[in-house]
Structure 1
Amino acid sequence: MPNWSTGFTPFFLVYGARCHHPHRCQVRLAPVTLYTEAEAKEAREDVIDLLKEARFLALSRSAIYQQGLHHYHNKKIKPLAFLERDLVLRLVQRTTVQHKLASPWEGPFIVSKALRDKNAYYLIDTQKSNKRKRDASDEETARP
């Protein structure tokens, strides 16, 4: 079955020939007297050239297919920016200790400050108390 994005089977892209099942193969041997080395060499070179063209065609078809997927994906994505005091959920960073049915989100968190690039935020955990945290010098610092 040919690949949807390339139009060729992986076997064809590697070996340059179609893969046939043994029950469909019919052995047809050409007489040995018709074999010449020059014609065989020319036939091999033609097959190599055709294989290079087929691989290039498969590469270009795959690139077109990937661009279409990229366009479709980006068409569905809508940019979203959070404002201060919005409630948000955060994706759990360490998933190695989680059960597979556990929620991948943690929170809720309050957005306390948005950074300049609009894709990074300072968050305050609503489940923890609002005490001031201490930094490495053991001085209290205000939460952002």
Structure 2
Amino acid sequence: MNGQVERANNMVLQGLKPRIFNRLNKFGERWIAELPTVLWSLRTTTSRATGYTPFFMVYGSKAILLTDLNYGAPRVRPYNEQGAKASLEDAMDQLNEVCDVTLLRSTKYQQALHWYHSYQVRGRAFNVGDLVLCLVQSNKNYHKFSPPWEGSYAITEVLQQCTYKLKTIDGKVFANAWNIDQLCRFYP
């Protein structure tokens, strides 16, 4: 029901499947051991929409990796009490700036997605007198080789932007209205 949750679950599954697949014992209980690793990788991977990792967005700092500890990266050197207050103030200033940058990047990303989607969608409309086919409404005597469209009907009236009244070729007008999703242009 919730698209974001479904997408997140799908990403977790995509990370788990290659790690736990075994031809003899497909899933077993190995996924329990692999789940923390997959979640860590998802939380430390940069998002295309924001330009930052989910870990950074929640905690306001980069995640400390095991390699940083092993090789003594500059940011994990021993803690210094004198510089802690100054570094905390700098971090808070940077965090506000990062929030603004993230908001701009996210907005730009959403606008680009909206433009791409709008560019790919072609508008459809019918005029009075156009010939159309209707989607089959009844499953009676329906089998897999049955055609999905029926008739050829003519548009008699445009009720709203995507709602139409139809008539048969004989001139009989249908009482119900048809949505454009249930119609397809007929080319005689």
TM-score normalised to structure 1 length: 0.59
Q: CA deviation at 1:18?
A: 1.1
Match for 2:110: what amino acid?
Q
Match for 1:28: what amino acid?
R
Equivalent-residue separation in structure 1 for 2:99 and 2:109 (angstroms):
15
Determine if the alignment matches structure 1 residue 87 to structure 2 residue 136: no
Q: CA deviation at 1:50?
A: 0.6
Match for 2:132: what amino acid?
L
Determine if the alignment matches structure 1 residue 119 to structure 2 residue 151: no
Q: Which runs of 5+ in 2 are unaligned?
A: 1-44, 138-143, 177-188
Equivalent-residue separation in structure 2 for 1:91 and 1:62 (angstroms):
43
The answer (yes or no) to whether the contact 2:156–2:167 under 8 Å persists in 1 is yes
Equivalent-residue separation in structure 2 for 1:19 and 1:91 (angstroms):
56
Q: Please list, as runs of the form range in 1=range in 2, the aligned pairs for 1:61-140 lying within 5 A after superposition.
A: 61-83=105-127, 84=129, 86-89=131-134, 108=150, 110=153, 111-115=155-159, 117-123=160-166
Q: CA deviation at 1:29?
A: 1.6
SS at match of 1:121: strand
The answer (yes or no) to whether the contact 1:13–1:51 under 8 Å persists in 2 is no
Change (3 A) 1:53 1:124: farther
Larger Rg: 1
Equivalent in the alignment of 2:85: 41
Equivalent-residue separation in structure 2 for 1:47 and 1:119 (angstroms):
53
Deviations along 1:76-115, one digit per CA (max 9) or x if unpaired, are 22221123453244599xxxxxxxxx9xxx6547444311
Q: CA deviation at 1:45?
A: 2.3
RMSD: 3.5
Equivalent-residue separation in structure 2 for 1:10 and 1:68 (angstroms):
21
Q: Which has the higher contact order (CA 8 A, sep 6+)?
A: 1
Q: Which runs of 5+ in 1 are unaligned?
A: 93-101, 126-130, 133-141
Equivalent in the alignment of 2:175: 143
Q: CA deviation at 1:58?
A: 1.2
The answer (yes or no) to whether the contact 2:136–2:150 under 8 Å persists in 1 is no
Change (3 A) 1:16 1:79: same
For 2:58, which of 2, 7, 14 is the aligned residue?
14
Which 4+ residue blocks in structure 1 deviate beyond 6 angstroms?
Answer: none
The answer (yes or no) to whether the contact 2:47–2:54 under 8 Å persists in 1 is yes
Q: CA deviation at 1:15?
A: 1.0
TM-score normalised to structure 2 length: 0.47
Identity of aligned residues (%): 31
